[in-house]
Amino acid sequence: MTDSSKKEQLYQLIRANPFISQQDLAVELRLSRSAVAGHIAGLIRERRLLGRAYVLPDKRPVMCIGAANLDRKLRTIEAMQLGTSNPATAEEVYGGVARNIAENLARLNLPVALLTALGDDGAGRNLQDHADAAGIDTRGSLKLPDNATGTYTAILDDKGELVVALADMALYDRITPEFLASRQPQRSAAAMTVADLNLPADSITALLASARSDNVPLVIVAVSQPKMARLPASLQGLRLLILNRGELETRAGRALPTEADVRAACNEVRLHGAQDVIVTCGSQGVYHTRGAELVWLAAHQVEVIDVTGAGDAFSAAVCWSLYQGSDDLTLACRRGLKVAAMTLESQETVSPVLAADVLDEIHDFDMSAPLFPTKG
């Protein structure tokens, strides 16, 4: 067999598994390690591969890093009464902020990878199987035989609104800077990184350092007010911070009752190093920064079936828009509000009817979500 045909076989093996080792390639093709290295160097010179991670030019993924949980949702049948038993329905679904964003992005037809931590139990295996079926690459994730897979239990009222949530997510503390360093080839080959604040504080700091050195855009998505403490003081290297009003208040250390207060707090976050900030306000809409100014977008008015996953859907659509090469945050937020509305109208955490053509329909000017610039 000629060298060119061996190189083509090697290329096809890498297409099937971009993280295959040189040793495995050598065994599969019955070549020496040096011969494999020579073929890989040739493919890189030809720009058919993009360096050490063997990433194909048309497959640079969005790398999502953070939680992948088994979500339990309990919803009361009638108006909730505290201090007593309430008739309810229960279901188990796959969740976690990073995982939800990854599945939304996969449904929007983007290449996507997920770095998370999973227990060696039925829930972990089911999560991985579900991710594989959805087109999410989880091969770099951490498997922990001594831990149970993370869980999130949401208590919803009869209207589908969240009353309280309980999270068992200590295993994500094992996604350490050392673990992230071990996945550096995969991370540096990504087109964008999206991280949630279920990660330890020093891991968030490490991701910010990587964003500065690798020039890969980093988006951080907040998950709760208590976990805002994991966000470092310096946000140099951060392309975008997505958080809700309460989380912004936690970061600012004060109440933010007016639009002027929100604008001032966003400008403080930008002074700390973040390029942009998006502040979600539930059913009212969202703010986003435009330089030192603040732009308001109203939410779509829909019949809410279930709020679970709507914020993650919004974040995914914003990231989808940035991935397309557009820095227009107004357009990105319009797309986010559209996908959030679809999710609110669905019983699923990720809308089953979501597809990329939904966002293609939303262009630079779309009166479906009015824009109200900040006054004064």
* Start-to-end Cα distance in the chain: 73
Question: What pairs with residue 94 in β-bridges?
Answer: 70
> Tens digit of pLDDT per residue, the chain (376 long)?
577 889 999 998 887 777 677 888 999 999 998 899 899 888 888 878 765 555 555 578 999 999 999 888 899 999 999 999 999 999 888 999 999 999 999 999 999 999 999 998 998 999 999 999 999 999 899 999 888 999 889 899 998 888 998 888 899 999 999 999 999 888 988 999 999 999 999 999 999 999 999 889 999 999 999 999 999 999 999 999 999 999 999 999 999 999 999 999 999 999 999 999 999 999 899 999 999 999 999 999 888 888 888 999 999 999 999 998 889 999 999 999 999 999 999 888 898 888 878 887 675 544 333 333 332 2
Residue with tokens 């998505």, as numbered in its chain: 221
DSSP result, 258-313? SHHHHHHHHHHHHHTT-SEEEEE-TTSEEEEEETTEEEEEEPP----S--TTHHHH
What is the chain's Cα-based Rg? 22
Beta bridge partners of 286: 280, 297
Q: Structural domains in the chain?
A: 8-59 (1.10.10), 97-145+171-373 (3.40.1190.20)
d(CA 299, CA 337): 6
